[in-house]
Structure 1
Amino acid sequence: METITSLLLKAQHGNKQAMDHLYQKFRPLLLKESCRNGELDLDCYQELSEHFIKLIHEFKVQK
């Protein structure tokens, strides 16, 4: 099983499978944070998803 760090580095280098794996790993959190008054806010979910992908590309891994 790969670590989040190794998946992150692969995703930053264009590995689509690594990005998909990261997204699926954090999808429950994105869904949870997208709920307002007990209902899923699809606009919020889309915004969070886009922001998540952008942050994956911008994140700096310190060794």
Structure 2
Amino acid sequence: MDFKELLILAKANHSKALETILSMYRPLLMKEAVVNGTFDEDLFQELCIVFLRCVRNFRI
């Protein structure tokens, strides 16, 4: 399955597709959740929520 197909499924709220896309971007989200050398769990959670919202709203 290519990324476009995965994105289409994720936009349709397919849970496995959402999990797969989130796991693909997890390292980046974790990196961005580090503030002053400390991992901020609340920020990570917010980044995940915003990321998933963006996936759902993305126009293909």
- TM-score, normalised on structure 1? 0.88
RMSD between superposed Cα atoms in Å = 0.9
The CA distance in 1 between the partners of 2:31 and 2:48, in whole Å, is 12
Task: Report the equivalent of 1:18.
Answer: 17
The CA distance in 1 between the partners of 2:59 and 2:36, in whole Å, is 35
The CA distance in 2 between the partners of 1:3 and 1:37, in whole Å, is 36
The CA distance in 2 between the partners of 1:29 and 1:52, in whole Å, is 11
Structure 2: tracts of 5 or more residues without a match: none
- TM-score, normalised on structure 2? 0.92
Task: Report the equivalent of 2:39.
Answer: 40
Letter in 2 for 1:9: I
Deviations along 1:18-42, one digit per CA (max 9) or x if unpaired, are: 1100000000000000001111011
Larger RCO (CA under 8 A, 6+ residues apart): 2
Structure 1: tracts of 5 or more residues without a match: none
Q: What percentage of aligned pairs have identical amino acids? A: 32
